[in-house]
Amino acid sequence: MKPSAILQAHDLVKRYGELLATNHVSLEVYPHEIHALIGPNGAGKTTLVTQLSGQLQSDSGELFFEGQQVTHLSMHERVQKGLVRSYQITRLFKSMTCLDNIALALQAKRGHSFSFWRPAKEDRALNDQAQAILSDIGLAHRHSELAQTLSHAEQRILELGLALATQPKLILLDEPMAGTGAQESERIIALIERLNKTAAILLIEHDMDTVFRLAHRLSVLVNGQIIASGTPQSIRQDPAVIQAYLGDEHA
């Protein structure tokens, strides 16, 4: 029997004047799946993710997370429930060390405001937990270095570590491979697969090889509307998707 969806979006709409950025979008993400959201530039993918995260309120429609209505909850309230957008929630403090970036995310998950933040070295348990997360993402050796000194790929990995610190149930990942080389991408792919052991993932990514390698299911957004959802194989063979986005090379 198929489990209940962890995320259910029903008829989400976002208008900018006459433009329908998202046009009655309905979407389901299931526990422990990687669900890729693909589509051409300007299709509305980032707008939809900002609606799901709570950064942007929808004009109409409903959103449920673990069966609970979260349509009108703030972004912070959604994070507390386990719905985390990595790009928005995990923006790095580049003048802080890697360890203190993780510690700050851990404190935020506990409900502390930024004004109560203390360096990790003043809290042994927090320090140990932050160090464990750095070890888990392969950055333990950079714990005392400032985030701004990391390579672009390492900063993306640290962002995923900050998302991990919030103990998410669903992570919204917006182009985690952007600006990374082949070797760096492999590190991020491996980390996404590890994150998926404890959390569902909604993935926006333009690298179709990565998408078809990682995703259990895909939804295709074109002009603010989802034109198809299904397994990677069914999406590859969908004539409407091939015409609108993938092209013959992915058929």
For residues 149 and 86, give the distance between their C-alpha atoms in angstroms, rounded to a whole number.
20
Q: What is the set of domains in the chain, with CATH numbers?
A: 8-199+233-245 (3.40.50.300)
Cα–Cα distances in Å, from 170 out to 20, 46, 58, 65, 70? 26, 16, 19, 9, 14
Helix H or strand E segment including 81: helix 75-81
- pLDDT at position 251, please? 44
Cα(96)–Cα(147) distance, integer angstroms: 6
Alpha-carbon gap, residue 136 to 181, rounded angstroms: 21
Contact call for residues 36 and 211 (beta carbons, < 8 A): yes
**pTM of this structure:** 0.86
CA distance linking residue 87 with residue 195, whole number of Å: 15
Cα 16 versus chain centre, distance: 24
pLDDT at position 89 is 42
Q: What is the mean pLDDT of each run of 10 residues along the chain (251 residues)?
A: 86 93 96 94 92 94 96 91 72 88 84 52 81 92 94 88 88 86 86 91 91 95 94 91 69 44
Q: What is the pLDDT of residue 113?
A: 46
What integer pLDDT is reported at residue 131 of this predicted model? Answer: 94
Residue keyed to tokens 């009108």: 72
Q: 103 and 109 in contact (C-beta within 8 Å)?
A: no
Q: Please report, to the nearest 10 degrees, the dihedral formed by the alpha carbons of residues 117, 118, 123, 125 taken in order.
A: 30
Contact 220, 229 (CB under 8 A): yes
Question: What three-state secondary structure class fits 84?
Answer: strand
The predicted pLDDT at position 250 comes to 53
Biggest alpha carbon distance in the chain? 59
